[in-house]
Amino acid sequence: MATERTYIMLKPDCVKRGLIGEVIARIERKGYRIIDAKMMRLNEPVLREHYAHLADKPFFPDIVSYMMSGPVLGMIVEGENAVLGMRILMGATKFEEAAAGTIRGDFASSTSENIIHGSDSAENAEIEIKRFFG
């Protein structure tokens, strides 16, 4: 097993609903460490880059406006196999498939408003950490 860093972002619905503490507690309880964190307001260019893999989807404009609807908390999270481990802690993308006990399973109110982002590979983690933390 390897120590990895991943990019985690608490989305506007998480911040608005007052769930930052709850979600961070789950991350820390699992044994991951928060290496850096900052509140940000994202602009359209950075979101177009971050969600480029979804640019041709009909819901793409909705994701961009949702992610600009309020502040987000970007974080660098570190731990053993943190990229995959955080994806498991987060739960499935699809609202109805996110298992109870996962962050999305317990708190997401739809597939689009789903509380949390986490990098999907070590390669993307590196790109996303650079994108949001420089």
- 53 in catalytic set: no
- Looking at the chain, how many residues does it have? 134
Catalytic residue among 72, 117, 118, 132: 117
If phi over 0 gives left and psi between -120 and 50 gives alpha, with beta otherwise, what is residue 94? beta
Q: In whole angstroms, how close is the CB of 68 to ligand IDP at the nearest point? A: 13
Q: Which of 31, 38, 59, 80 binds ligand IDP (CB under 6 A)?
A: 59
Sites for ligand IDP among residues 100-119 (CB under 6 A): 111-112, 114, 117
Whether 73 contacts 10, CB under 8 Å = yes
Q: In whole angstroms, how close is the CB of 105 to ligand IDP at the nearest point? A: 13
Question: Among Mg ion, ligand IDP, none, what binds residue 5 when CB lies within 5 to 8 Å by partner kind?
Answer: none
Strand order through the sheet with 72-80: 33-40, 72-80, 3-10, 116-118
Site size toward ligand IDP, by CB under 6 A: 9
Tokens describing residue 113: 């408003």
Please report where in the chains the tokens 């053993």 appear, as a residue.
80
Annotated active-site positions, please?
117
Applying CB under 6 A, which residues contact ligand IDP?
Answer: 54, 59, 63, 93, 111-112, 114, 117, 120
